[in-house]
Amino acid sequence: MLKLPTTTQSRSPSSKYGSASLLRIFDDQRESLRERRNQLMKKQRKGECVDQKISLVGLARPLLYLFQDNDGNGKAEGAHAFPNTISRHIATYNWVGKLESDRHRLYTFIVWIGYAVVLITSSAALAHYLSPQTIGSGIPEMKTILRGFMLKEYLSFRTLILKMIGLTLSLGSGLPLGKEGPFVHVASALASQLSRFMTSFEGVYVNESRSQAMLAAGCAVGVACTFSTPIGGVLFSIEVTSTYFAVRNYWMGFFAALCAASTFRIVRFVLNASGETVEAYYQTRFPEDAFYLEELPLFGLIGLVCGLAGALFIKVHRSLLTNLNRSSSVKKFVEKNWLLYPVLVSFLTSSITYPEGFGQFLSGQTLRMLLSNCTWSASTEQENCCPQGFLDEWTGDGNNSALVALSLFSVTFFALSILSSTLPIPAGIFMPVFIIGASFGRLVGESVAILFPNGIYSYRRLGVYPGIYAVVGAASFCGSVTHTISVAVIVFEVTGQLMHILPVMIAVFIGNIVCAYFQPSIYDSIIAIKKLPYIREMSTCFDE
């Protein structure tokens, strides 16, 4: 805006500037405003490109399947790491476990321990020296970023590459670690890099709201690629990362997640070459009438116990981490000898899981067997008994009760999951808590099957299916620890069935209510431990 000179005498503006000069100045200003308007319109048009090209995140994300695909307890089924890293680790593990002669017993123990220690320490060294941003799950940090606080180097290309390498080493170690949270981190970093380096996305990256939309879609894709669950992935990412979610971003998240999940399933089907069609990740085949209405209180009880156990899990996890940092002397010792803690934890965990010792109860292909359609405790004369040798890896060559094996597994895996999640390596917590819940649910289901071998009402010819209890327990405990309801949707997509929707929803709701009363979610707990710049939600009258 021009400021014309003012005096006590009135004079024409042209006396100082001249009419030609004033017209030239006004023309320059109009031209400047026109260019500014064109730039804004250009950025807006570029911003709209994200609606068409955000699916690139979904299409690129399943390529990470080539890096890792494991079955929850570190034992991969058809893993195709680049170049088959995890599958070779696990193949060596299985070969070591089969060397049963006394001459090889010491060698097998050394190799079993050494494998885990080397891989965990390598992953910890990468994180310590090259990129500390890769440590942990990734969901707490993404929750902080989507609340408006940008964390330095957290979404950089260097962090992206090192996160994938470190996660591959972590999962190959055989420790009870998860991959969903790291997948969210990797997908978000990939989305950030796409928006930064692709010239057509330049305007989107400048526009903060569009950048947030890209990151939100990346989070959805990361969850969707873990189990090939596009709907549950979008809903879960919204629950754990956002308080307020723009409705216009829904379809973009679903579209990207759909592209990712479809590519994931097709690649997995082609590489595994198993089955005649593309199935769910952990396909179950329960009959439509697989439970009695009288069993609903038992499912509610599972939700109650899982809620209490979830609160205990979060409490112990937070206490362990805070105690390591509370004492200044302990903190200095750990910081100075940072490699000692990963070595001790990996040594202890691999010693417990050694197949020739206590690990005989922990060496099964975990989740697929927990969700199986047969009854572990059924005799060979019963129709729903398991195939011969099915439980040898769980019960010590079949010499122990299935209830004893499940009890030992649940308690041991609970403790080892907490301990392993405190390691300074790239790893998540979703899959371990999912397995813990499935094992507890299976334990309850097998107990009910023993009490009612012919079903609650024998004249209905409807038996008890412990696999249903395992599905309910997995959803309830995982939902309790993460404080999410969308885990139920993930379970429906993972199993490929909806017939257990009622018991799953009952248990998930009860578990969430109970756990939320005692503890925050595991992600909010980690945010508090790491002291991330995170704005808490405002309390309501119901919270007081």
| SS3 assignment for 98-137 | CCCCHHHHHHHHHHHHHHHHHHHHHHHHHHHHCCHHHCEC
Tokens of 128: 């310590």
Q: What is the pLDDT of residues 420-433, one digit of tens each?
A: 999 999 999 999 99
Q: How far is residue 96's CA from residue 104's CA, in Å, rounded to a whole number?
A: 9
Whether residues 265 and 347 fall in one domain? no
Mean pLDDT computed over 357-382:
73
Q: What is the pLDDT of residue 523?
A: 92
Q: Which secondary-structure segment (H or E) carries 330?
A: helix 328-336
**Residue 348 domain flag:** yes
Q: How far is residue 49's CA from residue 255's CA, in Å, rounded to a whole number?
A: 14
Is residue 236 within 8 Å of residue 486, measured between CB atoms?
yes
Q: How far is residue 179's CA from residue 61's CA, in Å, rounded to a whole number?
A: 14
**What CATH number does residue 331 fall under?**
1.10.3080.10
Whether residues 403 and 314 fall in one domain? yes
Is residue 365 within 8 Å of residue 393, measured between CB atoms?
yes
Please give the backbone phi and psi of residue 364, each rounded to the nearest 5 degrees, phi first. -75, 160
Specify the residue for token string 């606080």: 149
| Domain-ending residue, one of 240, 272, 304 | 272
Whether residues 319 and 455 fall in one domain? yes
Q: What is the residue range of 216's domain?
A: 49-272
Q: Give the best-scoring range by mean pLDDT among 22-26, 442-446, 537-541.
A: 442-446
Cα-to-chain-centroid distance, residue 223: 6
Distances from the Cα of 514 to the Cα of 40, 471, 485, 521, angstroms = 50, 19, 13, 12
Q: How far is residue 218's CA from residue 142's CA, in Å, rounded to a whole number?
A: 10
Whether residues 94 and 239 fall in one domain? yes
> DSSP letter string over 489-514?
HHHHHHHT--TTHHHHHHHHHHHHHH
Nearest to 466 by CA among 442, 435, 497: 442
**Residue 539 domain flag:** no
Whether residues 118 and 258 fall in one domain? yes
3-state helix, strand, coil in the chain (%, to 5): 65, 0, 30
**Residue 112 domain flag:** yes
Tokens of 46: 């570029």
* Domain count along the chain: 2
Whether residues 337 and 366 fall in one domain? yes
3-state secondary structure of 198: coil
Q: What is the pLDDT of residue 365?
A: 58
Is residue 237 within 8 Å of residue 253, measured between CB atoms?
yes
> Within a 10 A sphere around the Cβ of 249, how many other Cβ atoms?
23
Nearest to 521 by CA among 216, 243, 217, 299: 243
Q: How far is residue 467's CA from residue 287's CA, in Å, rounded to a whole number?
A: 11
Mean pLDDT computed over 119-148:
89
Mean pLDDT computed over 12-27:
48
Whether residues 190 and 323 fall in one domain? no
**Residue 34 domain flag:** no
Whether residues 100 and 188 fall in one domain? yes
Residue type, 199: T
Nearest to 240 by CA among 444, 429, 84: 429
**Residue 491 domain flag:** yes
| DSSP state, residue 238 | H
Nearest to 455 by CA among 468, 464, 447, 466: 464
Mean pLDDT computed over 35-59:
48
Q: How far is residue 347's CA from residue 167's CA, in Å, rounded to a whole number?
A: 19
| Domain-ending residue, one of 272, 304, 323 | 272
Specify the residue for token string 């070591």: 96
Q: What is the pLDDT of residue 258?
A: 85
Mean pLDDT computed over 81-90:
48
Is residue 481 within 8 Å of residue 515, measured between CB atoms?
yes
Q: What percent of the chain has pLDDT over 90?
A: 26
Question: Worst-scoring range by mean pLDDT, 248-257, 391-400, 427-436, 513-522?
Answer: 391-400
Whether residues 84 and 213 fall in one domain? yes
pLDDT at 66 over 50: no
> Within a 10 A sphere around the Cβ of 459, how many other Cβ atoms?
7
> Within a 10 A sphere around the Cβ of 300, how many other Cβ atoms?
18
Q: What is the pLDDT of residues 141-159, one digit of tens each?
A: 888 888 878 888 888 899 9
Whether residues 443 and 508 fall in one domain? yes
**Residue 246 domain flag:** yes
Cα-to-chain-centroid distance, residue 156: 20
Whether residues 356 and 219 fall in one domain? no
| Domain-ending residue, one of 215, 243, 272 | 272
Mean pLDDT computed over 312-337:
84
pLDDT at 37 over 60: no
Whether residues 315 and 434 fall in one domain? yes
Q: What is the pLDDT of residues 275-296, one digit of tens each?
A: 556 666 777 777 777 777 788 8
Nearest to 377 by CA among 284, 447, 276: 447
Question: Worst-scoring range by mean pLDDT, 50-54, 111-115, 297-301, 453-457?
Answer: 50-54
Q: What is the pLDDT of residue 306?
A: 95
pLDDT at 16 over 50: no
Q: What is the pLDDT of residue 482?
A: 92
**Residue 224 domain flag:** yes
Q: How far is residue 40's CA from residue 22's CA, in Å, rounded to a whole number?
A: 27
Q: What is the pLDDT of residues 377-398, one digit of tens each?
A: 776 666 777 776 667 667 665 5
**Residue 228 domain flag:** yes
